A and B are shown apart, each in its own frame.
Chain A
Amino acid sequence: MALAREHAPPAGGARPLLAVEALTKTYPGGARALDGVSFTVARPEVIAVIGTSGAGKSTLIRCINRLVEPTSGRVFLGETDIVSLAPGELRRARRRIGMIFQEFNLVDRLTVMENLLSGRLGSVGFFASWLRRYPPRDVANAFAMLERVGLAGLHDSRADALSGGQRQRVGIGRALMQNPDLLLVDEPTASLDPKTARQIMRLIGALAQERATPALVNIHDVALAQGFADRVIGLKAGALVFDGPSAALTPEVLTSIYGAEDWSRTIRKADEDEAGA
């Protein structure tokens, strides 16, 4: 399945793949969860978003596909300003953004195949999707995807019969069935054991690379972030306090994001992981 699309290089004047400009979110009730966050993604890369719990990581990625309405700011996906879209246009833009969740968010009583194909809902009419009459190409892609995420043969299993790692693989497959221009990933491994967590992160990284799709990955495990991301964005109390290559994560930087701690063991562990991976 040679699905990797060609991304136009960001030549003079052209928009980057993703541009977030002064994004701010104040929840009703007063909590300012995002405070003027700006960054751009110019090439397909895996970006880890780190920060303490409550720093605004989930709010950031949910504002990008507007599961949460931003209070102000802009989000450009290519040429499209997502924040200004009317509901119908927003649905069309969401097709281009795949999302992967901590709790997997599969529909338990549906089969693995139905969960995968639900990634095509934005491109298939209501009756066709209701009657499960998907275009043959979508079905073929779904079987290929099942094999790629390591679940070949499980198409008729019910989603609630799978293990946590298997469910997240279905979640990843569903997002990629959209053939998205951007992957939003919210704590993909927080509900998994450490070994499965690494396998899942490796799978997300590999697929993002194969398909030349940029991925924004919220993660609170610094070692995992360093091991699998090309770039790291640090959030603190809703503000962006770090944006740089993952190799630049020094104890000083981590202290600026998380507060004073002894980081030597965390960072060393990351190095060991890299050697063992």
Chain B
Amino acid sequence: MSAAHPSAWRPPPFFGTRGRQNLVLLAAIAYLVWSVSTLDIDAKRALAGFGRAADLFIRMIPPDFGRWELLLRGMTESLQMAFAATLAGVVLSIPLGIAAAKNLAPRPVYLAARGLIVVGRTFHEVIIAIFFVKLFGFGPVAGLLTLALSSTIFLAKMLAEDIENVRVGPIEAVRATGAGFLQVVVYSVVPQVLTRSVGTAIYRLDANVRHSTVVGIVGAGGIGQTLSASFSRYDYDFAAAILLGIIALVALGEWFSDWVRRRLR
């Protein structure tokens, strides 16, 4: 009996036939070699960079906390920006997230909301910030709007995905009692997504603290703007103080986010 059955078996190749699989592999290697060879990596420039890094590093020590008021003002502005943007993002993402959930929204609404999210996610925060700085001028208003917009898009996408993953049974059961749309949402969808959504919002708050330091560099306010100004004035010891401040701020945000999310269940 055993003689009639093959004793060797390999999983079927991913690209159809084994020959085609080898061809794909070969093409990938060739592409990798070609792209590295065309990158134009100049060893001399790379080495010079290392030298300048040492110079810069030396000039950063010791960090200068003399202008601590400026530092504190920048950090406070960044924090306020992050908080306000997260809050606005949470509020605005609720209707957008519901509209972008396939199992709740009518098809045209779903498509429109998904389209908005796709377009919104196309551009990085920094690009949006540049745009808003052009519209509203330098300062925290541009930063706030940037982070509020990107938070809304991000949170709406996460919410829509969470809503699409809820159990349909409870939704049907509540619908079967004759409940209206909002009652169905509040009684069967919200309880299923609430803890996850609070976790996502806290994560986004933490991310916004980090992003707020970045968008400042293009002039959208906060500690990033202070940092960018100090670099362009070759104020490296003050820049070092700012960098330490940012590290502390981000660490604090991360710790807080972990602390809250550990308590959710």
* A 161-181 to B, binary, CB cutoff 8 A, 1 in contact else 0: 000000000010010001000
Return 16 A-B CB contacts under 8 Å, by A number.
Answer: A94-B178, A95-B177, A95-B178, A96-B178, A101-B173, A104-B169, A105-B170, A106-B173, A107-B187, A109-B194, A119-B177, A120-B177, A121-B174, A121-B177, A121-B183, A122-B177
Complex-state Cα separation, A174 to B172, whole angstroms: 13
**B170, B192, B194 interface centre (most CB from chain A within 10 Å):** B170
In this complex, what residue of A is CB-closest to B183? A121
How many A-B Cβ pairs are below 8 Å? Answer: 84
Q: Is the interface of B mostly helix, strand, loop or mixed?
A: helix
Q: Distance in Å from the Cβ of B169 to the closest Cβ of chain A?
A: 4
Residues of B within 8 A of A101 (CB): 169, 172-173
Q: Which of A91, A171, A174 has the most CB of B within 10 A?
A: A91
- Measured CA separation A106–B171 after assembly (Å): 9
- C-alpha spacing A122/B192, complex, angstroms: 21
Chain B residues in 8 Å Cβ range of A105: 167, 169-170, 172-173
Residue of B nearest to A126 (CB): B182
Per the bound structure, the CA–CA distance linking A126 and B178 in Å amounts to: 12
Q: How far is the CA of A130 from the CA of B192 in the complex (A)?
A: 15
Query: Which residues of A84-121 have CB atoms within 8 Å of chain B's CB atoms?
Result: 91-99, 101, 103-110, 114, 118-121
> Judging by beta carbons under 8 Å apart, are A67 and B177 in contact?
no
In the complex, A65 Cα to B180 Cα: how many Å?
15
Q: Is B152 an interface residue (CB 8 A)?
A: no
User: Inside 8 A of B183's CB, which chain A residues have their CB?
Assistant: 121, 126, 129-130
A residues less than 8 Å from B195 (CB atoms): 109
Partner of A107, one of B170, B176, B180: B170
In the complex formed, the residue of A with least CB distance to B188 is: A107
B186 close to chain A: CB less than 8 A: yes
Query: B115 within 8 Å of A by Cβ?
Result: no
Is B61 part of the contact surface with A, judged by Cβ < 8 Å? no
- B175 sits at the interface (CB 8 A): yes
Q: Of residues 182 to 213 in B, which have CB atoms within 8 Å of A's CB atoms? A: 182-183, 186-188, 191-192, 194-195
- Taking A95-B178, A119-B177 as contacts, is the C-beta distance between A107 and B172 under 8 angstroms? no
B247 within 8 Å of A (CB atoms): no
The reply to whether the CB of B141 lies closer than 8 angstroms to some CB of chain A is no
With A109-B192, A126-B186 given, name 17 new contacts (CB 8 A): A91-B178, A94-B176, A94-B178, A95-B177, A96-B178, A99-B177, A101-B169, A103-B169, A105-B169, A107-B187, A107-B188, A108-B170, A108-B192, A109-B195, A118-B174, A122-B179, A123-B178
Q: In the complex, A101 Cα to B194 Cα: how many Å?
A: 24
A65 and B170 contact, CB distance less than 8 A: no
**Given A101-B169, A109-B191: A92 in contact with B178 (beta carbons within 8 A):** yes
The docked-state distance in angstroms from the alpha carbon of A98 to that of B175 is: 11
Q: Cβ of A126 and Cβ of B170 under 8 Å apart?
A: no
CA distance A70 to B4 in the complex (A): 53
Report A225 CB to chain B, min CB distance, Å: 23
A91–B169 contact, CB under 8 A? no
Chain B residues in 8 Å Cβ range of A123: 178
A109, A118, A171 interface centre (most CB from chain B within 10 Å):
A118
CA distance A91 to B177 in the complex (A): 8
What's the least CB distance linking A87 to chain B, in Å?
9
Instruction: With both chains docked as a complex, state the minimum distance between the C-beta of B227 and any C-beta of chain A, in angstroms.
Output: 44
Residue pair B172, A110 in contact (C-beta under 8 Å): no
In angstroms, Cα B169 to Cα A94, docked, is 16
Say whether B177 contacts A107, CB under 8 Å.
no
Complexed CA–CA distance, A65 and B175 (Å): 10
Partner among A104, A118, A130 whose Cβ is within 8 Å of the Cβ of B177:
A118
A108 touches B186 (CB 8 A): no
